[in-house]
Each structure stands twice: as structure tokens, then as C-alpha cells.
Amino acid sequence: MPTPIITFTSDFGMRDWFVGVVHGVIHERCPDARIVDLSHAIEPGDVASAAFVLEAAAPDFPAGTVHLTVVDPGVGTARRALAMAAHGHVFVGPDNGVLEWALMDPRAIAHALNESKFFRHPVSRTFHGRDVFAPVATHIALGVPIEKLGPRVTDPVRLARPRLEPRDGGILGRVAYIDHFGNALTTITTEALEEAFPRVGEGQLWVEVVGRKIDGIARSYGDAPIGTLVAIVGSSGRLEVAEVGGHAASRFGFGVGDPLWVRVRGRE
């Protein structure tokens, strides 16, 4: 068996000991696991951002990776807890939409976490990351099949995701995430661009966001002078808007949800 990788995403922050305690739970049960922290800076309860982080990062990991995702404002209530096989990976988290990317795999299989023998005891009221999700993720990394964890779930909670809309001969997407560099990552993937604009070169496209027009898709951040706003296909395979050498979001006021058009030049 290859060394298991467990990724970990949460809204726990890095100030307190919550992330460390989860690492301890995993290491105690599976010292061979390699734990990779994706982000613990999700705003408390921001399920949509955590789902986006998982969607952006998980495809970069090898088959068999276990993704532990704990943004769980309903901890202690009747909300279900899930493990899901999808995309060749396994996902563990609350049933609140945070695992939306897994559900986009039509062959995704979800099971509820009902078998308390895989939990850490006693189970607290407020920290299922430590007591339910981390021990279950560890058992999966150690080889427990997800069907042992509880009954099949066929109606997991879905996250409402903005659809791309054809509009005025182009497509309308949204800003989905502002990253550390101030780049605005959007809902428009390379696949969506290819589907919407077959046989159209990137240089033929233009992008409009919050009243700013950007001509063509750049090949690198360094293609244009410092301060220029560029559109570029970023590292997670989606269109992003960046300021060369600057922080586009704070300079231009971009925020999650802002509309973004892509059109072909000459077809406006």
C-alpha cells in the first residue's frame, strides 16, 4: 500500500490548538499518514469557500488521497456526516455541501458515518473534527472501506453553484474566490471556454468584470507591464483576473459573486 495522504481543510484558524489536535488523532492511529493542510483560514462556517478550496486543490493529489474537510456550523445537530468515494479519492466531512466537488462525479458513492466504533470516545458536542471526522478519515487511510462506516446515502446536500449563462454571444460567470495575491478566480473553467468558444483563439476573447475590459487571455503574469489587469488561465484550470505585480481585488474592488463576461471580439 502506498503511503496514505490525508488532506485537511477547516475553518479552525491557526491560533488555537484545534488543527494540532486533529493531527495528533491521525498520527496516533496512523503514523504513516502524510497530513497536508490545505487551508484552515476558511471564514467560520463558510461552506462554499471550503468547497471551492477542495475543488481547486483535490485534483492535484494522487488517487487514493483522503480529503478531510471540516467546516461544520451544524456540529452537534442532526446533520449527517459523510464519507464519499469519487474521482478516485475519498472525502470525509459533514453533509452540508462542503463536499460538492465529490458530488460532481456522477459515480460518487456516499455513506453516512453511523458506526461509532470508528469514532474517538467520548464524542464531544462541539468538536466532531477531532472525535468523528479525523478518526474516520484515518480508518479509511488504513484500509476500511466506506461501506463499513454506515448506510448508503443517496440524497446528500448539494451546494447551489452559479451556472454559466450564455449571454449576448458570450458567457456570464462569477468571481468564485479571491486568493492571497488578490487574483479573482472565477467559475469559468478551460473546458467551459472551449465549449462556449470552439475554434476561437485566446487572443480573440475579451473579458469584462466590474466595468473593466481586458483584451485577450494572457500567457503569464509577466506578459504585460506592472499594474496591468490581465485575464489568465490559472493553475487550477479556470479563468482568473490578476493585476501584474499588484493585488487586483483590493485595487479594483473585486469580490466573490461579481459577474464576469467573456465574449469574442467583433461579435459584441
**Using CB under 8 A as the criterion, which residues of the chain lie in contact with a second copy when the complex forms?**
2-3, 5, 7, 9, 12-21, 23-25, 27-28, 31, 34, 36-41, 44-45, 53, 56-57, 60-62, 65, 73-77, 79, 124-127, 130-131, 179-181, 219-223, 232-235, 245, 247
232 grid coordinates: 489568465
In the complex, minimum distance from the CB of residue 208 to a second copy, in angstroms, rounded to a whole number = 21
In the complex, minimum distance from the CB of residue 248 to a second copy, in angstroms, rounded to a whole number = 12
Q: How many Cβ atoms are within 10 Å of 251's Cβ, its own excluded?
A: 12
Q: Would you say 125 or 267 has its CB closer to a second copy?
A: 125
**238 phi and psi, to 5 degrees?**
-140, 155
In the complex, minimum distance from the CB of residue 11 to a second copy, in angstroms, rounded to a whole number = 8
- The C-alpha atoms of residue 258 and residue 256 are separated, in whole angstroms, by 6
Q: Would you say 109 or 179 has its CB closer to a second copy?
A: 179
- The C-alpha atoms of residue 123 and residue 118 are separated, in whole angstroms, by 11
Among residues 54, 68, 51, 42, the alpha carbon closest in space to that of 129 is found at: 68
Q: Would you say 223 or 268 has its CB closer to a second copy?
A: 223
- Strands of the chain, DSSP E: 5-10, 34-39, 66-70, 81-86, 89-94, 109-112, 152-153, 165-167, 170-178, 184-189, 205-209, 212-215, 217-218, 229-233, 238-243, 259-264
Q: Would you say 20 or 169 has its CB closer to a second copy?
A: 20
In the complex, minimum distance from the CB of residue 165 to a second copy, in angstroms, rounded to a whole number = 26
Q: Would you say 3 or 114 has its CB closer to a second copy?
A: 3
Among residues 268, 104, 246, 248, the alpha carbon closest in space to that of 189 is found at: 104
In the complex, minimum distance from the CB of residue 263 to a second copy, in angstroms, rounded to a whole number = 22
